[in-house]
Structure 1
Amino acid sequence: MDQMFQIGDSILTVSLPVELDHPNSQAISQQIDEILQEQYIRGIVFDFGNTTFMDSSGIGMIMGRYKALGMRQDSIRAIRVNRRIYKILNLSGIYKVMKICRQVEE
């Protein structure tokens, strides 16, 4: 497992790339699905600390992982979200299924 994925306390933390476009979203989805098949994961934290661009495929990737976790409340989170990504997440309506934290401490 590379540095993009870290597991601790059954929580998978995914450090997202600078651009979360279709090719990156697809590759990340496949890697997360492999991890979910191999290990028990009760939650996923998406770290947007380095991300400056995200398109609709990024939203689809997040929703797909939410469904893969059984659509449990509080099963996914977004941390270190900048203003641009925050607007995209809010406009998409994904805030209804995931907690969005502007800072790590939230």
Structure 2
Amino acid sequence: MELDLETRQDTLFVRPEGELDLGVADFLRNALEESLNKNPVRHLVFNLSRVSYIDSSCLGVILGRYKRLAREGGRVSLVGLQPHVRRICELSGLLRIMGEYTTEEEAVARAG
């Protein structure tokens, strides 16, 4: 997995690439926590357009960041879900609590 993190204003953009599974869950969690601790944000945008697979361990990482931001009045958005990844997010219930958008720009615009 490759991971690109970018902070703009009050938004952290998370752009992983590859498979999000148990083998990368700790790395993903630690990278997100480090970034959130360094740059407090109110909106987290997960761009999953280059993710081919996601399992429950990484869904848990996303859910954990959702809980953290929700406590602080923030929000989490999902962008560019591939059909297989979207189905997993739907079955897990993530799509009931997080917005799903086509582009990062749309996610940011709807966050306000």
TM-score bracket relative to the smaller structure: 0.7 to 0.9
Could you state the TM-score of these two structures normalised by the residue count of structure 1?
0.87
Q: Which runs of 5+ in 2 are unaligned?
A: 107-112
CA 1:52–1:20: 2 relative to 1, 3 Å: same
CA 1:3–1:88: 2 relative to 1, 3 Å: closer
Please tell me the residue identity of whatever aligns with 1:96.
R
Partner of 1:36: 36
Partner of 1:45: 45
Inter-partner Cα distance in structure 1 for 2:74 and 2:64:
15
Give the 3-state SS of the residue equivalent to 2:7 in structure 1. Answer: strand
Inter-partner Cα distance in structure 2 for 1:21 and 1:3:
13
- Please show how residues 15-94 of structure 1 align to structure 2 within 5 Å: 15-71=15-71, 75-94=75-94
Q: Going by fraction, where is strand more abundant, 1 or 2? A: 2
The answer to whether the Cα contact below 8 Å between 2:76 and 2:98 also exists between their aligned partners in 1 is yes
Inter-partner Cα distance in structure 1 for 2:3 and 2:89:
24
Write the deviation string for residues 22-71 of structure 1: whole angstroms up to 9, x where unpaired.
Answer: 12222111111111111221111001111011111121011111122134
RMSD across aligned positions (CA): 2.0
Inter-partner Cα distance in structure 2 for 1:97 and 1:88:
14
Number of aligned residues: 104
Identity %: 26
Please tell me the residue identity of whatever aligns with 1:82.
Q
* CA shift for structure 1 position 17: 2.1
Please tell me the residue identity of whatever aligns with 2:81.
V
Q: Which runs of 5+ in 1 are unaligned?
A: none
Structure 1 residue ranges (4+ consecutive) displaced by more than 2 angstroms after TM superposition: 70-74
Please tell me the residue identity of whatever aligns with 1:63.
L
Q: Going by fraction, where is helix more abundant, 1 or 2? A: 2
